[in-house]
Structure 1
Amino acid sequence: MSIRKSILVIAALAAAAAGVSAFAAGGSGNDARIIPNAKVSLSQAVTAAEQHVGGTASKAEVETHAGKPVYDVEVVKGPQVFDVKISPDQGTVIAAVADKADHDDHDHQD
C-alpha cells in the first residue's frame, strides 16, 4: 500500500476512534451525520469489509445507498478494487462489487 493510502486509512481510523467528531460537522447534505447514531463504528466497518474481500481498505466514507446511509469502504485485493457497502446498524455487508472505474488506479495520485 502506498504511503498516501496508508495515511488515509490511518486518518479514517483515528477519526473513528476519536468519536468521529471531525466527520459529524457539516451542512444539511452531509451523510456523515448518521455516524453518531450508528451501532457500528467506522473502524468496525473497515474490518468487516477487509475480511469480506480478503484485502486492505484504502478509503472509507459514509454514503447513501438505496435511500439509506451506509459505510462505503474501498478495499484493494491484488490488482482489483472493491466497493463494499456496510450497514451502520448491523455491521453486515450489504453489497460488494468490483469497482471498474478504480481498476489499477489505486497506485496513482489524484
Structure 2
Amino acid sequence: MKRNFYLAAVAVLSATAVGGVYANSSADNDALASADARISLTQAIGAAEQHVGGKASRAEYEHHQGRWVYEVEVIKGKQVIDVAVNSTSGAIIAAVEDQTDRDDDHHRDD
C-alpha cells in the first residue's frame, strides 16, 4: 500500500515539475502575456463583480477567439456566472451561467 502511495506521489511531482518547466518556456504563457493588458486583473474582477452583482471566486487571463480576455467566475446566490472582460477596455464581452463547474472542483479547461 505504501509503495503505491509513493509511486503515485512521485508521478504527481514529476508531472508538476515537467508542467512548470513547460509553462516557463512556453511563449503562450498566460501569466507573461498579461503584461500586455491595459487593465489590471483587479480592475477586471471589479467590472465582472459589478456587472453580475456577486463575488468573484476565480479569474484567469486567457486567449479566446483571437484576443486576450480576463475570464472571471462570479458567484451570485446559487449561480456561477462566467464573465469575459475585455483586457484593453474593461468592457464586459459576455456573461454566461456556468453549467459545467457545478460538480467540478476545478475549471474544466485546467
Q: Which TM bucket (shorter chain)? A: 0.5 to 0.7
Q: Kindly indicate which of the two structures has a greater share of residues assigned to helix.
A: 2
The 2-side partners of 1:86 and 1:33 are apart by 18
Partner of 2:37: 38
Q: How does 1:1-110 map to 2 (within 5 A)?
A: 26=24, 27-103=26-102, 105=103
Q: Gapped runs of 5+ residues in structure 1?
A: 1-24
Q: CA deviation at 1:35?
A: 1.5
Q: Across the two proteins, how many residue pairs are aligned to each other? A: 83
Q: CA deviation at 1:67?
A: 1.6
Bigger relative CO (Cα 8 Å, ≥ 6 apart): 1
Q: Tell me the amino acid that sits aligned with residue 84 of structure 2.
A: K
Partner of 1:20: none
Q: What is the Cα-based RMSD across aligned positions, in Å?
A: 1.8
Q: Which runs of 4+ in 1 moved over 3 A?
A: none
Q: CA deviation at 1:63?
A: 0.9
The 1-side partners of 2:68 and 2:84 are apart by 10
Q: CA deviation at 1:79?
A: 0.6
Q: Normalized against structure 1, the TM-score is what?
A: 0.68
Q: Tell me the amino acid that sits aligned with residue 50 of structure 2.
A: Q
Partner of 1:9: none
SS of 1:46's partner is helix
Identity of aligned residues (%): 52
- Whether the 8 Å contact between 1:31 and 1:69 is mirrored in structure 2 is no
Q: Normalized against structure 2, the TM-score is what?
A: 0.68
Residues 51 and 29 of structure 1: is their aligned pair in 2 closer, same or farther, counting only changes over 3 Å?
same
The 1-side partners of 2:81 and 2:37 are apart by 23
Higher alpha-carbon Rg = 2
